[in-house]
Each structure stands twice: as structure tokens, then as C-alpha cells.
Structure 1
Amino acid sequence: MPGFFRRLFAPRWQHPDTQVRYQAVAHLDPSRPEHRQALETLCLDDDPSIRLAAVDKLEEPGRLWQLVEQRQDNPELYQRLADLISGRAGNLELPQRLKFVEEFSDRKLLSAIALQGDNQQLRLSAVARLDQEVDLIQQACDNSIAVVRHAAASRVTSEAGLHQLAQKARRDRQVMRQARERLGRLRADAASLNAERERREALLVKLEAQARAPWEPLYAGRYRHMAREWNALEDMADAGQERRYQDACQRCRKVIADHEAREHAHVETNRRREQATKARESLLDTLEESIAGLPKGDRLTAQDIASLRSQKRLMANRWQTLSDLHVTDEVLRARYDAVLADYDLVLTAWERFDAEAPRIERALAERDRARLAACLETCQWPDELPLPPLLNRAQRELAGSDGPEGNGLDSRLARFGEDLIQLERLLDRGAFKGASRLHQSLRHRAESLPESALLPHQAALKRLGAQLAELRDWRGFVAAPKREQLCQAIDELAEDTSQPDTELDRRHRQLIRDWKALGDAAANRELSERFRAASDRLHERLAPWREQLNVDRAHNLEARIALCEQLEALLESPAENADPDALRRIRDHAREEWSRHSPVPRDQSEAIGRRFGRIRHTLQGLIDQRAREVADAKQKLIEETRALLERQMPPTVRADEAKALQQRWRELGRAPRGEEQSLWREFRELCDRIFAVRDAQRDDRSQRVRERLEEMQTLIDRLDAWQPTCHADRKVLGQAMDQAAALEPLPPGRRTEGMLRRWSGIVRARRERLTRLAVAEEVQRWQAFRSLLDAHLSADAKLAEQGIAETVIPADTLSLPEDMRDAHEQRNAARCRPPATDEIAEQLARLRVHLSLLAMGRTSQQDEPLRLAIQVERLNEGLGRELNRAEEVRAVLRNLLATGPVSPQQWEREVGELDVLLTRLTHLPPP
């Protein structure tokens, strides 16, 4: 029962029966809220007919849209919304409908409004809300309003969309043309972008090749030029190209940095060479001053000679070290040889004196003048050097005294006092050896002097003797533990087997130097034998290593000699066009080889060092000479480049010659370090000016090319928009073709190809239209002669019926051209002597078939032989000239006027098809 009462008392629009609900819709009033709510519920009913009846009673688009959002698969709601907003149903005002369009975003609804709207603004608003190209293409192709089609087409931007629009927009040729033009521009832009990418790729390949190339004078400039070209490109590089570009730039910068480092090293080498030269000069100055200062002294002592030897030894070692690193200047070499000669003179004289010193002392002690004179003769002491004290005494002894004996005793006592003062000085300085020898000499001389005369000096002699003994004891006290330490150290070194031979030899030599430095202080036989025994064991242990070292030194000496011989052979006959860079590499390689083959035997190291120094000096002179020649050659190239810049010639030819000059520049090598950069800057500036002129011309040419392309595009657009209306308009086409010929040649490219294809199609279409216009004008002129033809046909009929040959006279108002007048007279003459009926029928059929060929009409099977014959005649007549359809039509119509007499039956059979063909000839192609 509850279900029954619910069905009984429920509203009819909620009835389970579909028919009842459908009938209930008609009784619902949408102005009443409860009925409107029922209608909205029925809009979502499962039955389509109920939904359709319900939505037809609702006119509120906002509420309908809410219902659509509740149920998307409701076509009745979509259609009702579209009808209400498009104005096909309901009474909504236009502003209200425009507001609803601005609020909606459903593609399906907006497309329906754009297609069905009753107002152009409404459709444009709906199209503006569409954002899918598929919908825009549909509107551009199917919309009935041209403005809406154009608005939709203007928003299609993709290549696929434009291609689809150009194929489907048959309804609007302007939309199709604009789509084709935009598609062409898009493809041209894509081609331009592709070309830009190809240029970027080509530039990237060149930059990568530059990164792999070795350094040369144009390397940095070429890299900077390519970097500027890369930055000047308009399109953006992709990630791969950017990564390759950065890698190539990094390698190029590394090559440049390495070269700059080498240049810096070269500068540093020159600086060190200058420092070495200054060091050599300082060493020479010191030794020269020491040797020059010897004659200025009162006497020459062993200390002076020891100091001179130390300075010479220091200078020789330092000189050899510097010679191994840097070539010695010839002037410094000459000074070095001169100072060594002076040193050898002094040292030789001292060695002779040192060898004769014991005999001189004994001769002085024994007062043996003859032996003393012989010793002085053997010494051969140079006159420019001051005498040593012993020689001075000997010469005074030989000279004697011409006065009384007391004067000689006073002189000896004076010299004895001076030597005491000198002994005190030596003791104050701690010079034990010199003081010991001088003290022994004073003791011997004191024995030969009278005690009374020597009494003032006895106290001083004893005091100084005590100081000497104290110094001896102190040296022994200090040297004793040192000797113990040295003996212990050399014993440990002799027992140590873990150290390499090189380190063992170094420490052995150091211990020997320390032992000798102690002299005779605290010396005893036991320690001396112990030290000597340990040293002998080390010598025996190092004997094989020393032998191998001697062998290596011999090999190194041979290698250095061979290196010197090779370099001397090279310097004896150098190539006239020797590359200074190659010579520099030879010099650097020789220096490396020289350093690698070290050490050499000591007795020959100085000689071979001097030989190599002279060779290096000569080689450097050859390098400087060749570099000077290269600098002169590059200066000539600069002058040629400057003359080339001033010469009147095409910029491209000038740029090619500049490239040839750059190639010659690279082949020359490097000038001297100080001049290479300045020459290169001047040469590069001139080349940059040449290339700037060429680039400016290229830019002007590109601008002119772009201007020609734009002019050609404008001409194409103008001719495309122009449609001839009469045959006389062929002058406009001729002028346009002359303008196009004046713009040629156009630059090659896809854009040019597309423009030329479009131009050819437009010209072909306009020529076809002009030809059809000429034919139509001939047919229209023929219509003016139709009255004359009708008169001839009437005369022909009278001839056939009555046998009377009547002459037709044209009206006064009819102006007949010459050819038509001849045809008219021929027709009148034919009635006087009529040809056979079959011949006239064949002539009419021939004219009909000919006219059908011209009108592109069909011919029957029986007329096929005539068609073939006419085509052969047309080909024969057209040899050597272009066939003119208007002239052919005029000739056919002229022959039609001249053919006769024609019976009414014959004319009745042909006139219908002739009129159809003439009408077809007057049809013009669509614009």
C-alpha cells in the first residue's frame, strides 16, 4: 500500500511512466519556482524526448550550464544552450549573450555558437574564446561569415595547422591564400633558422679544429674572431652545441695560455740570462780588482795568494754553472780569458817563489849571498808585483849597506820589529799557520843578532811565543774531540751498507774536508791511521761506483762532443731560409741534451763548456740574424698590405689577397721577441680594415638582396590580388613581368624557390585569363555580326525555295572589319555559284569540330577523323610561332560567315551546338 499511495499522490512529472512524464512537461510553467525545479530535474531525465521537451521550456543559460556540468553527456542541454546564446531561440539580449560567452570555456559549446550565432560580434567573441587549433581550423573553413573565418585563420600558427587550413579552406580563397603565405613564411623562417643552425654548426666545427691546431701568430686573433661570430648569431644554441663551444673555447684558451706561459718563460729566461751576465760581470770585476790591487800593496803574502785562489775557484765554479745554463758573451769571454791569464802569471810567480822559499831562508840564515842570488834568479819575480817579505829581505841582504856595519844591524833590527808587529796581528786574527811560520823565522833570526841589540825585543818575542803556544794548546783542545768525532763518523760510514753510493761519496768527501780543516791541531798518529784506514775502506767500496762514474762521465763527454760537432756542422753551412723557430727548437733541445749528459771529467769540463758556450753564442747569433730577416720580410708584408688597402679593387678580391698575405705571414716564422707583437698588431689592424670593408659590402649586398626579395614579394602580392577584366589589361601583366625581370637574379634559397613557383603560377593563371578574355571579346564582337549572318541565312533559304540568288547588303550602322567584309562578299558570291550540298555540310562540320577543340568540348565518334585532321593542320600552322586561340576563334567565325549557301535544315542541325560552344567560350575562369 505505501508504494501505491506514493504513486497515486506523487506529481505527474515524477510518474514512472515515460508517457505520463512527457505529458506533464507541457503543464509545467517555468515562471513558477517549483515547476522550474521540476523542469530542471526532467532536463536530466533518462528519456531523450523528455529532456528535449524540458530544456525547450527553460531560457536561463546560467542554470542550464550548471545542469550541463552535472551531466556532461546531455546533448539536449548543449543544443539548447547553443540555441539560446546564438539567438536561434529565446529572447536574450546581445550584451547578455556576450557576457555568457565570456564566461563559458567549453569547446563544443563555443564552436556551436561561433557557427550558429546571429551576430558577427557574438561569433567573434566565441572564436576568441577558442584555443584549440582544430576548432579554429573548423571555424576558418566552415563559418559563414568572412570576418569570423579570417579571425579564426589568423590564430592558426603551427605548420601542420596552416597546411591543413590551406587544403581545406575552399570556401574562402583569401583564407587559403593567407594560410599559404603564412605557411611559406613559416617554412622560410624555419629554413632560415636551419641555415643559421648550420652556420653555427660550421662555425663550431671550425672552432673545434682551431682548438686542435697548434699555436701560430694568428691563433688568438682567429679564436677571438670566431667567438665574436658565435656571439653575433641570432638563434640560441642547444645544450650540446653550447657544451661543445665551451669545450672548444677552453682548449683554445689553454693553447693561448700555454703560449703565453712559454712567452713568459722565454722572458724569464732572458731575465735570468741578463742576471747571469751581470753575475759574470760582477765575478770578473771582483777578480780584476783583486789582481789590479796586488801591485798597489807594499808586499804580497800567502794570505793574499790564498784569497786570490779562493776568488778564482769561486769564479770558475760559478762561471761554469752559468755557462751550462746560458751562453757567454764574447766580450765577457775575452775578459774572462784575460783575467785568467793575469791570474796564471801571478800564481806561477808565487809557485816559483814558494818552491824556492826554503832555500832562500837557509841562504839568509847562512848569509850565503851566492846561493841567495841564484834563488832570486830562479824565482823570476815580476817587476809589477810587490815583493813577498822573504824576497824583500833577500834583496836587501844582497844589496847590503855601503855605510858602517851598525847601519846594517839597525836595518835588520827594524825589520825584526816589523815582523813582531805582524806576528801579533796574526795571533790576534787566530792565523795559527802563518803565525807559527813567522815565529819560527823570528827565532832563527834572533840567534844571528847580538843579544844586546835584541834585548828590547826579547820580551815581546817571549810574550808572542807564549800566545802562540796557548793558541796551539787551544786548537788541540778544540780539535781533539772533533777528530774523535770525525774518526767515529767515518768508521760508522764505512760500516753503513744501506746508503747509496752517491750519498756515501758525498758524506766521505765532507768528512775529509772537515779533517783537513783541522790542520795539525791535536794530531796524532793513531787517529790519523784510524781515519786513513776507514777512508781507504770507503775508497775500495766506492771503487766500482767511481769506475762506473768515470765511464758515465766519459760517455757524457763523448755525447757533449758529438753534440758540439753536430751543432758546428749545422753552423758551418746553415740553410739560407732556415726557420728561426726551428733554430730556436734546436737551441732548446741542445740545451736539454747538454744538461742531460752531466757530469763530465773535471779536467775537460771547462774546455768543453767553453766550446759549447761559443757554439751557443754563434747559434744565437744565427737565430737573431734569421729573426731579423723575418722581421724585414714581415715589414715588407705590412707594406704590401697597406698598398693593397689603398688599391682600387673589389673588396672580395682584396680580402682573398689579404688571406694569401696572412698565409705568407704564417710561413715566415717569428721575428725577434720585442718586434713580433708590434709587427703583428700592425699587420692585423690592416687586415681587419680590409675584412671590415668586405663585410660592409656583404652587408650592403645582403640588404639589397633583402630589398629585392621584399619588392618581389610585394609585386607577387599585387599581381595575385589583380584580376584582368579585358584583354587590353595584358599591358599590366607585361609591366609586372618587366619589373620581375629587373629584380633578377634573386638569391638562391627556399624562400626564393617558393616565390618563383608562386610567381609562375600567378603569371600562368593571368595569361590564361587574358586569353579567355580575348576569346570572349571575339565572341562578343561576333554577336554584333549576327544580324548579317541571319540575313545571309534568309537569302540562302530564298535561294533554296525560290532559286533567287539575292545579294545581302549590310546595314549602314554595321562596321565590318576587312576580313569580315571579305567573308561577307565571299558568301554573296557563293550564292551565285553554289557548291555541292555535301561540301557545305562537310565545311560546317569541320568548323563545328574546330570550334569544339577551341572550347575544350567533346566530339562524337564520327567526328574523330575531322578532329585529328584539324589538330595536324593546327600543328603545321603553329610551327615557328605560338598559337593564338582568339585568332583561331576569329578565323573559324570568319569562315562560318563565308560558308554558304546553307539550307535551313543544315543550319538547324548545327546552330544548337555552335551556340553552346560559343557560350562556353565566353565563360571566364574563377578569380
Structure 2
Amino acid sequence: MAALLRRLFKSRTTKLKTPAAAVNKQLQQAEAAKSAKEDRDARIAKQLEAVQGMPAQTKLAELAIGGLTAEVRSRAASDLRDEDLLHDVIRQAKGRDKGVFQIVRQTLQQLRDVQAAQNELEEKRQQLIQQAQDQARSEDNTLYEPRLDTLIKQWKSVEIDASNEQITEFLGATHQCRERIRQGQQQQLQKQQQDEKLDQRKQTLTLLDETLIQLKIDDTREPPTLTALDALLKTQLNRWLEASENTDVSAPEQSRYNTASAALRAYVEAHERLTQVQEQIAKLATNAVPGDGTIDDAELGVETAEQAKALLVILDWPTTFPRPEPIIVLQTLAKQRKKAEPVEQPDLPRQNSLSADLDRLLTELDSALENKQLKPAKQLLKNVQQISKKLDSRHQKPFFARTQLLQGQCNELSDWQGFATTPKQIALCEQMEHLAEQPIDPEAKATHIKELQEEWKNLGGSSDRLLWARFRQASDAAYEPCKAYFAAKSDLKHANLATRQLICQQLQEFVAQADWSNIDWKVTERIHQTARQEWKAAWPVEFRDNRPLQKKFDELLKQLDAKLNDERQRNEALKQAIVTSAEELISAEPLTDAMAQAKELQGHWQAIGITRHREDRKLWQAFRQACDAIFARREQENSRQKQAVMAADEQVTNILERADQALSASTNSDELNAIWTELAIYNPEALSTSTRDRYSDVRQRLHTAKQRQELIARLQQWTGCIQARGQAPIDRTDVPLEWTKFNQLDQPIDFQELAIRTEILADQPSPAADQRKRLEIQVQRLAQSIGAAEQSTSPLTDAEKLVALWCLAPASAAASKELEQRMVNALESLV
């Protein structure tokens, strides 16, 4: 029953408290909802701003899943492009956010379509490269060139995104194809040229043979024009050289030409020599003719005959041709014995000067032959022969034998050097042929070919046309693989040149059209870096073509650098100001404000734009040192606080240990009050967490112990009063003043009711005989509590009222010992 009444009282009390508590709770909930809404709106605005600020892909993925509104999630999902993040988002959005799921699925499909198109283009590029390579190796020449043109047209449609390696492969293959076409055309052209050259050589041989036959049967008294013969020799020589160049001439054919041209040249040279001594022959003939105009052998002198013989030696008329009249005259004069009259020598100083020059040249020729210098020796011998032709017979005679000797030595040296260099030239041919078979890098092969050609040139060439043809053929074969490489390299250079032209054009447009007063400097700096990187990647290029383009690119970069450097210097000045401010905060007080301002400066630092890397590092180090110094003060302060906490913990711990001992020993209240006073001196916030928790626990225990002792003292006082009232009435002056203020002090007292009420407060059972009355009292108290505006503060206060009523009851009222004992027992149970 008592438990039932307690539940009834508790339920009633709760119902009475509900309206006010509900109002307070609703107000709190409204404030919390308003704050939550404001916080949510701020977070939504921040998320929208983040989406519009083009954040990183990872941030977009987070917003696409965790965005507070559908708009935020949709925008973030629309800007997401990373495939891995898209898969992650669609997996999380499935079944949770249909809008994001649809957007991400469409984006993934678009990426798949783009990738499929790229794969298709890539496959087509590879197929075209393979087809070009197959055609380069194919031996089928049917419609070869049209097929190549078709491949090139198809390649142009897929070339835009091709890599440099793919472009190089395709260009290399197409160049091989073009080379095959060119080789076929060259072979056909060479065949035509060979046929034409053969016909030209036949015509040359025929013309030379006919000319020689005509010379041998012509009337010697009217010789042919030497100018015409010389022109004929030169034209036919050029004709023969052109007709025999880069072609194989048979030995009989070459021998026939050499014989005919040598015979004709000997005839022309003999006539030239005859022309030079015509005056001498005429003088000899005049001196040898008597007054009557007839030649008398007996009257001719020996000197004239000697001179005629010398002239015949100099003239060296070819025996295969008819003798002209001057030769016949000289031969006639050479047979005479009689000494002729001396012939007058014209232009003697010039003859002497030429003789001196000839002597000097012969000396130099002798020295060159001794030093085995064939090429200078040949040139000197040629000069000697030219001067000898200009001398008369008397001045020629002293040098004749010497000239013949040195000419023979020159011929021997030529034969000897040819014998010495031929094995070396054969070795060079073999090296070149071996090089042609080696699959080495084209650049290295071309360099090696050039080195072998230089060695051949340093050997002085070769008079053996077959050996020279062998070396040249080996050189062409060795260089053949290099042609495609250098052709592809040339095309690559042109492509790179076009790329650099485009870079210059785009850079020029950017510099000219940019709004420098309102521009994203980080993007501008990235454009600058990208332009340099792409320019460097577009290599190699032809130096001559690139030179003006490089100058233009450097000028554009210089203009862009000037703009960037101005902005960097402005930003560096801002950062320098931040460094100065941070250094001033090192000693600023209070420390918390200094640290807050330092954090603000860090935020300002991050907001500043581009700077030069080296200068930024210097400024950052200075700024970092200043910030470290500021926050180092916090560490020092924390260290001091930590030491203070440790000292306080040590002092408080000693007091707490005394308190534990006092509480466990049930010490009197005076000692507990003293310990309580000692603990009150210390601020709990100045203690460590563990000590603060222990401090709070001990303080609570001390408070409880003090309350218990006070309660025990009060109950002892009350029981003493009750027991004293049982012996005699109590004077009102001997009780607390507040007891006299209760309303019912002058009313009749029912000691039984007081005992029952006290037992109800103490939750103690009443005797069975009083159960009915106890129930009535409980119902009465319930009714009073329902209509009362206030309730008693505590059971102890209600008990004190009952004790006051008991003790200050009228003297005429008396309580039995049983009721008195029940009252005392109920009060003691309150402890």
C-alpha cells in the first residue's frame, strides 16, 4: 500500500510539473531547431560556393554523396569526371539518391562512348600503320602509288590525336613506300639514261673515227682549223664523260675512245707546236735558200741542219697522219751538212726570263718529287710543259733532258702511289660494303659513311674507274636505309615547326587579348610553363627555319615574364609585410591574441597569389620562424602551467589522502570542516583531469558526510526534545524560534496522527491497528498536495514540523510511551 501511495504521489507531482517543463522544453527545441536551420543554411551556402569554385575531383565526389541539398549533390555530380570516383559515387548513390545516380550513370556512359571512340580511332590508326608497313615490305607493285595515297588520306582523318611514336612509325612506313616509288622511277629513268648514254657514246666514237679518217686523207697543204678540232675534242670529251657517268663502260669501248681521242689530241697538239715554230721554220728555209731561189744541198750549213733536227724533235709529228709542208721542209733541212748562216733570235730578254722561270719550276718539281708530293708535282709538270712551248729551240735544248728525266720520275711516282693506295682503297670498299650490311642507328651509320668518304678523298681518289664505281655503289647501298630515317626526321621537323608556329600564335593571342587588370595569375603562370614544355617537346626542328620563330617565341615569353614578374614582386611585397607583422607579434601580449593574429596572417599568406620560387622560400622561412617563435611561447606557457598543475596536484593529493582517511574513520565534523576549508582554497580548473575528478569526488563525499553529521545532530536534538516532552512540558524559549511560527501550535494535538505522519515520511510501517487511519492521512495529504500551490521542500522539513508540533503540544496533552517510541524510531530511520 505504501509503495502504491508513493507511486501515486510521484505521478501526481510529475503531472503538476509537466506544463512548465514542456514549455521550457519546447522553447529549447525551437531555439535548437532555429540554430540547426541556420547552421544547415550556412553549410549549404558553403557547399554551393565550393561546387562553383571548381574544387578537386575528390571534393566533388564527397559533395555528390554528402551534399545537404539535391542541388549541391547534382552540381557536384555533374562536374565529376574521374572514372574511379564516378564508380564509387554511383555505388553509394544507388537506392539513396536517384538524381545523382542518373547523372553519374550518364557521365559514365559518355566517358565510355568517348573511350570507345578513342579506342576505335586508336585501332584504326594501328591498322593504317600496319597497312603502311605491310605495303612498304610488299613486292606487289600493282597500283602501288594510288594505294599509298589512299592510306595517307585515311591517316589525315585520324592523325590529330596520334602520338609522336605513331606519327613517326606511319611517316617512316610511308617514306619507305615513297622511296620504293622513287626507286622504281629512278630505275626506269636510269634505264632510259643508260640507253641514251650508250647512244651518245656510239655517236662520239663514230664522230672521232670519221674525223681521224678525214684527217688522214685530207690534203696536207690545207690543214683543218685547229680551233674547230680543239672544240671538237672538248665537246666530245664532255659528251663522253656525261655518257659514261654512273654507268658501266666496257673495256673495249673505253679503249677505243681513249685511242681515238689520244690520236686526235696528239694531232692537235702537234699542229699547235708547228704553229709556234712556223716563223723559225720560215727563217731556216729562207737562210738556206740561195739567191736564185733553189736549195743547194752543198751550200747549206751544218748549223741549219742541227736546228732543223731540234725542231723536228720538239714538234714530234704523229707518224699516222700525213706530213704537212713545214715538216717536210724541216726534214729536208735536217739532212744538210753545210753550215748555214746564223738565224737572228727575236725577243731575247723574254726568252731569258722564261728560261729562268723554267729553271725555277724544274727545281721545285725536283723537290716535290723527292718529297713524294704527287699532286703538287703534277701541277708543276704542267706549268713546265706550258713554259717549254713558249721557248725557242736554242733555249729549250738545255732543259730538254732534265725535263724528260723529271717527267719520267713523276710518272713513276704516280704509278707507285697508285700501287700503294689501291690496297687501302680496296679496304675502304670492303669496309663500306660491310657497313651497308650492318643494322645500326641511321645517325651513326651516316657519320661512319662520311668518315670513310673523307678517308677515300684524302687518298687522292683513284684512276681506276671500276674501283671508284665499287666504292660509290657501296656508299649508296650503305646510305639507303638512312634515307627513310632522315626523310621521316625531316617530316617530323616540319611537324614540330608547325607545332611551334601554333604555340607562338596562341601565345601571341593570349598576350594581346588578356585582361591584365583582372586575370587569374596562377592560370597565366601555368600557361607560361605549359608553353615552355610544349615548345621543348616539339623537337627536333630545322635550325634555319626555327631561328626567326625562336626569336619570336623568346620575345613573347619575355613579355609574359614581365607581366608575371610584376605580379610576383607585388605579391612578394605583400608577403614581406606579413613577415614583418609576424615578427612584431613575437613579443606581443597577450599571447592568445598574438596567436590568433598569427593564424590570420597564415590565412592571408595562403590567399596571396604567385611569387618567384626562390624568393617565396626565403620569405616562407622567415615567416615560419616568426610563427614558430610565437607558438613556442605557448609551449613555454603550457610548460609553466603544467609545472603549476603538477605542484597543485601534489599539494591537493596530500589533502585528499587525509580526507580519505578522515572519511573512512568517521571523523568528527570539526576535522571534516577543516579539510573542507583547505580544499576550498584550490581552484579545480588548475588541477589535472584525474586529480580534478578525485577532488570533486572527495568534496562530494565530504559534503555528504557533513550533511549526515548535521542530520544526526538534528535528529538527536529532536529525539531528545521528544523524550523531554514525555517527562514534562517544554518551554518555548528552549526550542528553535522557527518552531513557534508553525500555524497549528495552539491547536489540539493528536500524537497518534503525528507518529503515523512521521512513519509515512520515513517510509516505516505502522501497526495494523493504525493502518486505516494511516490510509486516511495519506488520502488527505494527497488531496492537499493536489490543491496546494507549493509543496514542502524536503521530508526533513516536514519531519521538523511534526517534531515541533509534538514538542510544543499543550501541557494538557500527553502521549503514550509507545507513540513516543514509534516517533523516535521513525526519526532515526530518516538517517
Q: Return the TM-score normalized by structure 1.
A: 0.40
Q: Return the TM-score normalized by structure 2.
A: 0.44
